[in-house]
């Protein structure tokens, strides 16, 4: 069951339309994404590198850059400490290439997902000391690394943190939040409560990019050179699933231009290995093909494979790395499917189905994929989901959580910090570890304090515009392209029509997994509607409502009584030189 809502943001569409020279339809769709400030709408519809914010507005960035600059000028060793996911990979590449360009003596280290866990740790600090490292700069981590950073300071190492994760806090006696920062020499994170940077939703690579922009300025390097790094930053931005608005939209739009004309040997090899050669790379390509392949190295092997692939100048080596990443991702897919089926079985046969927050323990799930499985479970059951698995310490378990919009996972887990060994994250996702003996208590606490209502736990479909299908045109579809690239914070626009008759239905595809419906418009024409969801479920629902005879008539093209409401996206089908309008059916009732 799901609820449909028609968005109705109260703004002066006529004013926005005239002021920015766009249609009222585009104005409505953009404001439906809660982008109402005229400057932000202008940046959205006319994204430009000139509209990026001044990086010097970020707290501590000038301090951090001055420390790195001095280390470079003095010939001191600099080490980047990154993260093993795509955003961490992109942030490392951004800092490494940027610092190298300025003449820095720099290398990088990435913690091993299984042996080390997330973020900079004491082993990395001690090895840095042994290697004569003068300055460590973190990226996509560090904001919660209190013990590791204290050790670094005790050992005389300068630490600059660049991160984008939520800042840790403790609650005061009156419930007020007291934010806590590690003892680093500089902390660059737009989510610091004392940071006045105007955009808070940068990913880790985005923050690293801002850092390099200031570093380049300090070394007298043209800002245009920093834009060469945007293909890395765009990958991190899409794959870390941050909102594609404001600066992120500019970064991704400009980054995609560069990715589609890339000269990076490693990226070209990966595009070929994943079967994307000759195709236009989109946010979908990044988020669901290239990104998962890059992430696979950090999940099942060493994240250095991906970084080295992007850094190498040897085509044969890049090909070898890319093919290995593709193989690892295929292996990861199989493991994910197996783990998902086990967790679903646990939910269906256990006492979890009525719980508001799913806290699950599957000891055989590989810890590198528990976040992926948690995300899939969240989508299936529309519940905040935390999946835990066995740690290398038999008394401890660790895992990841994925949330729904109505539940701030970071804040809710923060209320249970006394039960945890460690955790970090943001409202929609978290990583954590705890003693196995605390599992039941943790589950009970989270569910006991959750204020989620029954309505909160119903999936919601937000419709942009009620638009009868007879109004769809080629011009409309072309106009909607101005809203690309799509992603979190800027989903594809959804339209709706109701009481539609079906002239005929067909089941298509090699695996018989595509439903094609000839939809009758109110003016007597037809338009193709394609549905890629569960066809058996579709047929069962229609049979319950109209009876099997009517379904048989629909498939035979005989007049039938079936009527349905749909939520759809308009599309153009291009085949053998012919262009026809069609709709992709996202939801029906």
Per residue in 65-91, pLDDT (tens digit) is 999 999 999 999 999 999 988 999 999
Give the model's pLDDT for residue 509: 85
Fold of the domain built from segment(s) 460-588: OB fold (Dihydrolipoamide Acetyltransferase, E2P) (2.40.50)
* Predicted confidence (pLDDT) at residue 226 exceeds the cutoff of 70: yes
CA proximity to 137, closest of 153, 154, 156, 161: 161
Bridge-partner residues for 526, per DSSP?
520
Q: Report the alpha-carbon distance of residue 444 to residue 509 in Å, rounded.
A: 46
Strand 526-531 and strand 495-508: the pairing is unpaired
Instruction: Give the helix/strand (H/E) hosting 287.
Output: none
CA distances to 292, 331, 513, 589 from 537, rounded to whole Å, are: 29, 30, 12, 12
Residue 168's pLDDT band, with cuts at 50, 70 and 90, is: confident
What's the chain's average pLDDT?
94
Give the model's pLDDT for residue 301: 67
Q: Report the alpha-carbon distance of residue 299 to residue 311 in Å, rounded.
A: 20
How much of the chain is helix, strand and coil, in % rounded to 5?
45, 20, 35
Give the model's pLDDT for residue 385: 97
* Predicted confidence (pLDDT) at residue 114 exceeds the cutoff of 70: no
Give the model's pLDDT for residue 562: 96
Residue labelled with tokens 């539940």: 407
Instruction: Give the helix/strand (H/E) hosting 557.
Output: none
CA 423 to chain centroid:
19
CA proximity to 432, closest of 388, 378, 374, 377: 388
Query: CA 506, 379, 354, 413: dihedral to nearest 10 degrees?
Result: 180
Give the model's pLDDT for residue 577: 82
Q: What is the pTM of this model?
A: 0.88
Percent of the chain scoring above 90 in pLDDT: 87
Residue 169's pLDDT band, with cuts at 50, 70 and 90, is: confident
With vertex at residue 566, the alpha carbon angle to CA 562 and CA 570, rounded to the nearest 5 degrees, is: 125
Spell out the domain ranges in the chain.
60-222, 350-449, 460-588
Give the model's pLDDT for residue 551: 95
Give the model's pLDDT for residue 404: 95
Residue 300's pLDDT band, with cuts at 50, 70 and 90, is: low
Question: What stretches of 353-498 show up as alpha helix (H) in DSSP?
Answer: 370-381, 409-414, 439-449, 474-480
Q: Do domains 60-222 and 460-588 have the same CATH topology?
A: no
Residue 343's pLDDT band, with cuts at 50, 70 and 90, is: very high
> Which of 184 and 350 is assigned the larger pLDDT?
184
DSSP E strand boundaries for 122-168:
135-139, 158-162
Mean pLDDT of 20-32: 95
Give the model's pLDDT for residue 368: 84
* Predicted confidence (pLDDT) at residue 12 exceeds the cutoff of 90: yes
| Backbone dihedral angles phi then psi of residue 243, each to the nearest 5 degrees | -65, 130
Q: Report the alpha-carbon distance of residue 103 to residue 121 in Å, rounded.
A: 27
Task: Select 60-222's CATH number: 2.40.30.10, 3.90.1640.30, 3.40.50.410, 3.40.50.300.
Answer: 3.90.1640.30
Greatest mean pLDDT among 68-77, 326-335, 447-456: 68-77
Give the model's pLDDT for residue 68: 98
Q: For residue 36, with 0-12 CB atoms within 10 Å meaning exposed, 13-18 middle and 19 or more buried, which class applies?
A: middle
pLDDT single digits (tens) 483-502: 999 999 999 999 999 999 99
* Predicted confidence (pLDDT) at residue 173 exceeds the cutoff of 80: no
Say which range, 12-16, 165-169, 459-463, has the weakest mean pLDDT: 165-169
Mean pLDDT of 188-217: 97
* Predicted confidence (pLDDT) at residue 158 exceeds the cutoff of 90: yes
> Which of 117 and 293 is assigned the larger pLDDT?
293
Give the model's pLDDT for residue 447: 96
**CATH class of the 350-449 domain in this structure:** alpha beta
Phi-psi domain of 558 (left: phi exceeds 0; alpha: psi -120 through 50; beta: other): beta
Give the model's pLDDT for residue 208: 98
pLDDT single digits (tens) 510-565: 888 999 999 999 999 999 999 999 999 999 999 999 999 999 999 999 999 999 99
DSSP letter string, 370-395: HHHHHHHHHHHH-S-EEEEEE-SSTT
Residue 394's pLDDT band, with cuts at 50, 70 and 90, is: confident
Widest Cα–Cα separation across the chain: 83
């Amino acid at each position: 069951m799901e609820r449909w809502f028609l968005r109705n943001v109260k703004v002066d569409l006529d004013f926005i339309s005239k002021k920015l020279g766009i249609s009222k339809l585009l104005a409505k769709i953009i404001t439906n994404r809660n982008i109402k400030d005229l400057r932000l709408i202008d940046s959205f519809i006319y994204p430009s590198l000139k509209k990026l914010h001044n990086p010097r507005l970020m707290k501590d960035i000038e301090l951090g850059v001055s420390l790195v600059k001095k280390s470079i000028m003095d010939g001191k060793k600099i080490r980047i400490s990154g993260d093993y996911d795509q955003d961490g990979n992109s942030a490392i590449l951004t800092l490494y290439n940027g610092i190298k360009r300025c003449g820095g003596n720099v290398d990088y280290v990435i913690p091993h997902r299984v042996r080390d866990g997330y973020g900079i740790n004491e082993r990395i600090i001690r090895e840095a000391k042994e290697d004569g490292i003068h300055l460590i700069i973190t990226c996509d981590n560090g904001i919660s690394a209190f013990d590791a950073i204290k050790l670094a300071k005790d050992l005389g190492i300068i630490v600059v943190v660049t991160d984008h994760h939520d800042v840790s806090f403790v609650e005061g006696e009156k419930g007020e939040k007291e934010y806590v920062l590690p003892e680093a020499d500089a902390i660059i994170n737009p989510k610091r409560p004392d940071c006045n940077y105007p955009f808070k939703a940068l990913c880790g690579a985005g923050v690293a990019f801002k850092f390099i922009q200031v570093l380049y300025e300090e070394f007298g390097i043209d800002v245009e050179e920093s834009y060469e790094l945007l293909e890395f930053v765009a990958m991190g931005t899409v794959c870390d699933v941050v909102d594609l608005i404001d600066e992120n939209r500019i970064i991704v739009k400009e980054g995609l231009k560069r990715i589609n004309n890339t000269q990076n040997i490693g990226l070209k090899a990966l595009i070929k290995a994943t079967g994307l050669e000759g195709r236009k790379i989109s946010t979908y390509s990044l988020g669901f093909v290239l990104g998962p392949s890059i992430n696979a190295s950090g999940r099942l092997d060493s994240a250095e494979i991906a970084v080295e692939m992007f850094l190498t100048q040897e085509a044969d080596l890049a090909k070898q790395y890319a093919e290995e990443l593709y193989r690892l991702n295929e292996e990861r897919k199989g493991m994910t499917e197996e783990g998902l089926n086990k967790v679903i079985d646990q939910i269906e046969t256990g006492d979890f189905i009525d719980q508001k927050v799913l806290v699950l323990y599957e000891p055989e799930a590989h810890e590198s994929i528990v976040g992926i499985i948690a995300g899939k479970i969240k989508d299936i059951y529309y519940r905040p989901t935390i999946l835990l698995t066995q740690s290398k310490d038999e008394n401890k378990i660790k895992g990841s959580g994925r949330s729904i919009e109505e539940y701030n996972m970071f804040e809710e887990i923060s209320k249970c910090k006394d039960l945890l060994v460690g955790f970090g994250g943001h409202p929609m996702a978290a990583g954590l570890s705890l003693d196995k003996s605390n599992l039941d208590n943790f589950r009970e606490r989270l569910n006991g304090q959750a204020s989620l209502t029954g309505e909160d736990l119903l999936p919601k479909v937000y419709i942009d515009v009620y638009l009868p299908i007879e109004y769809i045109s080629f011009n409309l579809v072309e106009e909607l392209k101005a809203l690309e690239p799509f992603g979190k914070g800027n989903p594809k626009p959804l339209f709706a029509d109701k009481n539609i008759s079906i002239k005929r239905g067909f089941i298509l595809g090699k695996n018989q997994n595509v439903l094609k419906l000839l939809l009758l418009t109110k003016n007597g024409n037809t338009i193709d509607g394609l549905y890629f969801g569960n066809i058996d479920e579709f047929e069962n629902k229609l049979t319950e409502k109209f009876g099997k005879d009517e379904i048989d008539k629909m498939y035979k093209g005989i007049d039938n009584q079936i009527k349905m409401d749909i939520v759809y996206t308009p599309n153009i089908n291009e085949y053998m030189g012919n262009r026809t309008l069609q709709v992709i059916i996202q939801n029906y009732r």
